[in-house]
Structure 1
Amino acid sequence: MTTNDPDIPDDLHDAAAHWFTREHGGLMTSDERLVFEAWRKADPRHEQAYQEMMRVWGAAKAAPDMVFENILRRPPQPAAGFPSRRRILVLGAGAACCAAVATVLVGPQRWFDSPTFSERYASPRGERRIVDLPDGSALTLNTASIVQVRLYESERRVLLERGEAFFSIASAMNRPFVVDAGVATVTVTGTQFNVRRDTGQVSVAVESGSVEVAGGTWWKREVRRLGAAQSVLVASSTEVSEVSTANLGRLTAWRQGKVVFDAEPLAVIVAEMNRYRVQPVRLRSAALQGLRVAGVFSTDNPDAFLDVLPSLAPVAVLRLPDGRSEIVPR
């Protein structure tokens, strides 16, 4: 198994902190665990770095919370030469580990408590699913989406493993709602917003209320605060866009079983419509991929898109024996 994952930092101690927070925060999926075990076995230094992280955590747990709270309140001090290896280890084997340990210690009680509610939900391809949570919040899952929900006394957490979800969050000022979408984390207390997780990027749009979206590396997190009708794109583990105005009608049309295109390239439209199809549509003609098409199509009946497309563009649709379809020049 390969460990060539762009989400795993190159630095050994940063990588160890990454896996520590995933495993001990209850966020690790079964697929991630396979990658984690492969990472530990790939190089003896990996296992050593992880064991150092575990020793730091073991020592840190013995210290009262007020010690770490006081450390975080102190103003930064200028560096005086190079710190010893002992001091580096105590602080968490580098800046990233320090950040991870501090987050664990002064963070919510969930690091020590079991969730009061835990469930995993999935929506089939081409279907939507509405989920009501015990705290009064509701999730609407778009096609082929998976979420893990864990509710704690101090906070509520959702891992968006893949796909897209619209969140309608019941307000609870002292119990934040956190959505982990890989390269981005969204934190709210009560609002309505949309999160879409694609390969390598996450988009967030707010319908009402406000959210905080965090992206970037652990030691230099970038935070964007979004209000109603605003959106942001986290394109990778280091790239966070500026806040922009969101076209909520287009972004959340899927909740009504629609998808809206405003002169989009046909290649983009086909890729989007394939999200809702069991058998994908093929578009191999380079001449057609950049052809721009506008329209509103049904996600509940994705075949209707193929039926109407020849009237909108100079194309024909071939129905293939295996159930797939191909768009070709007419």
Structure 2
Amino acid sequence: MLLEKPMPGNKATRAQRKRNAEAADWILRNADLKQSAEDKDRFKQWLDQDPENHRAYRAAERLLGDARTAIESDPALLNINIKPHNSAKPLTAAVLLLACVGTAFLMLDGPMRIQADAIAETDEMPVLTLEDGSTVQLNASSAIAVNFDGKHRNIRLLRGQAFFQVAHAPERPFTVQAGTTRVTALGTAFDVRLGEADTEVTVTENSVLVESNDATTSSVRVTQGEQATYDQNSGQTAIQSVDALVALAWQRGQIAVENAPLSYVVEEMNRHFSGKIVVAGTALAQRRVSGTIAIADTNAALAFIKQVLAVKTTRIGPLVIIR
């Protein structure tokens, strides 16, 4: 089921992300047992600068609390017996605790949550309304950062895939940055997928201009019914005709592939899986798959792959190995 929710205006988005990063930095610095008096004074000054700094710091504390909860719920971490053999025992314990909290912070997607304005979890594909009336639907495990001002509408696709329906406002160009690829809307609806090795741009309405940060690469115009694929390794962009229903199958929790490498299919499955699916070996990762796969149902997708490729799967906790 799609989540439909408005996205507030974010003229101060850049400042908010900077504030969130500063709050996370202060959380770690304040955990240092040898923090200097000057550092403590600077922290107080930072808090007093803006009431929003208090809000950001409380939010960072809550996230850190989630990290501590993750540690406390893991018997392997909870039962660590720290026995330093020197006078640095408190410092050693603090360093180990910070290392554990840092690991949990990464597991809880902390760095991405600081950067992003919107994140989709593995079990959702939300539809968001931007301040200009444009809408964006995020694929599972996707994230965006939004930066609108009076002259520009800029979005960064930080991870995953998103479908954009752009409100008409030619005086404020609408661009999406996905890795090294920049997409400029020309009054349109389009889909952008930021993959591990390539970036795909599919146009379902009107046209877009696709450019690369590489100055030696020419921009290309992609029109309705076309898909541009930018290969990050070769720096080349290929354009092909595509069926919109096929390209946007992810909105229905599916992918429709024809002779696609297993690595691509697994990458899409991982968006909907709370653990990690890996392929054992490069040769197997390059095996080809065709068909319509219900990737939102991990068990069904794995069963399909096992049948089609005659492979086996092994589960080790949150890890699934295809071999």
TM-score category by the smaller chain? Answer: 0.5 to 0.7
- Residue in 2 that maps onto 1:154: 151
Q: Does 1:235 find its partner at 2:235? A: no
CA offset at residue 277 of structure 1?
Answer: 1.3
Answering whether residue 137 of structure 2 is matched by residue 140 of structure 1, we say yes
Change in Cα spacing, 1:186 to 1:28, as seen in structure 2 (3 Å) is farther
Query: Would the alpha carbon gap of residues 28 and 195 (structure 1) be closer, same or farther in structure 2, given more than 3 Å must change?
Result: farther
Q: CA deviation at 1:266?
A: 3.0
- Give the secondary-structure state (helix, strand or coil) at the position aligned to 1:174: coil
In structure 2, the CA distance between the partners of 1:210 and 1:311, relative to structure 1 (3 Å rule), is: same
Higher relative contact order (Cα pairs below 8 Å, separated by 6+ residues): 2
1:47-66 mapped onto 2 (5 Å cutoff): none
The TM-score with structure 2 as length reference comes to: 0.58
**1:311 partner letter:** Q
CA RMSD between the two structures: 3.0
1:243 alignment partner, SS class: strand
Q: Does 1:307 align with 2:303?
A: yes
Tell me by how many angstroms 1:256 deviates: 1.3
**Whole-angstrom distance in 1 between the partners of 2:15 and 2:214:** 18
Cα shift readout 1:12-65 (whole Å, capped 9, x = no counterpart): xxxxxxxxxxxxx959976xx99xxxxxxxxxxxxxxxxxxxxxxxxxxxxxxx
Deviation, structure 1 residue 269:
2.4
**Is 1:120 paired with 2:129?**
no
Partner residue, 1:192? 189
Aligned to 1:249: 245
Letter in 1 for 2:302: L
Deviations 1:161-192 (A, max 9, x none): 22111001111222221112231111124211
Rounded to whole Å, the distance in 2 between the matches of 1:245 and 1:301 is 28
Using the size of structure 1 for normalisation, the TM-score is 0.57
Q: Percent identity?
A: 26
Q: Deviations over 1:221-264 (max 9, x none)?
A: 62111110112223349824143323433322111111122233
Aligned residues: 216
Partner of 2:219: 223
Which sections of structure 1, spanning at least 5 residues, go unmatched?
1-24, 35-118
Which one is further off, 204-213 or 262-271? 262-271
Partner Cα separation in structure 2 for residue 232 and residue 204 of structure 1: 5
Instruction: Map 1:38-117; keep pairs closer than 5 Å.
Output: none
Q: Counterpart of 2:165?
A: 168
CA drift at 1:126: 4.4
| Paired residue secondary structure (2:170) | coil
Q: Distance in 1 between matches of 2:157 and 2:122?
A: 16
Distance in 2 separating the partners of 1:256 and 1:137:
21
Distance 2:284 2:144 in 1: 36
The amino acid that maps onto 1:134 is: E
Give 1:120 deviation, angstroms. Answer: 1.0
For the structure 1 residues 242 and 258, does the alpha-carbon distance in structure 2 shift closer, same or farther, using more than 3 Å as the test? closer
Determine if contact 2:249/2:256 at 8 Å carries over to the other structure: yes
Partners of 2:205 and 2:174 lie apart in 1 by: 15
1:266 to 247, 255, 262: 262
- Asked if structure 2 preserves the Cα contact closer than 8 Å seen for 1:216 and 1:222, the reply is no
1:293 aligns with 2:293: no
How far apart in 2 are the matches of 1:187 and 1:234? 15
Cα distance in 2, alignment partners of residues 238 and 327 from structure 1: 28
Question: Does the 8 Å CA contact 1:224/1:242 hold for their aligned counterparts?
Answer: no
Q: Determine the structure 1 residue equivalent to 2:176.
A: 179
Residue in 2 that maps onto 1:323: 318
Distance (Å, rounded) in 2 between the aligned partners of 1:181 and 1:266: 23
Counterpart Cα distance in 2 of 1:209 and 1:291: 35
Residue aligning to 1:284: 280
Question: Equivalent residues in 2 for 1:23-38 (5 A)?
Answer: none
* Structure 2 residues without counterparts, runs of 5 or longer: 1-12, 23-115
Q: 1:290 to 1:201 in 2, by over 3 A?
A: closer
Contact 1:216 1:239 in 2 (8 A): no
* Whole-Å separation in 1 of the counterparts to 2:241 and 2:205: 13
Query: For the Cα contact (< 8 Å) 1:183–1:200, is it kept in 2?
Result: no
How many angstroms does 1:205 deviate by? 1.2
Post-superposition offset of 1:288: 3.9
Within 1, Cα distance between the matches of 2:247 and 2:227?
Answer: 10
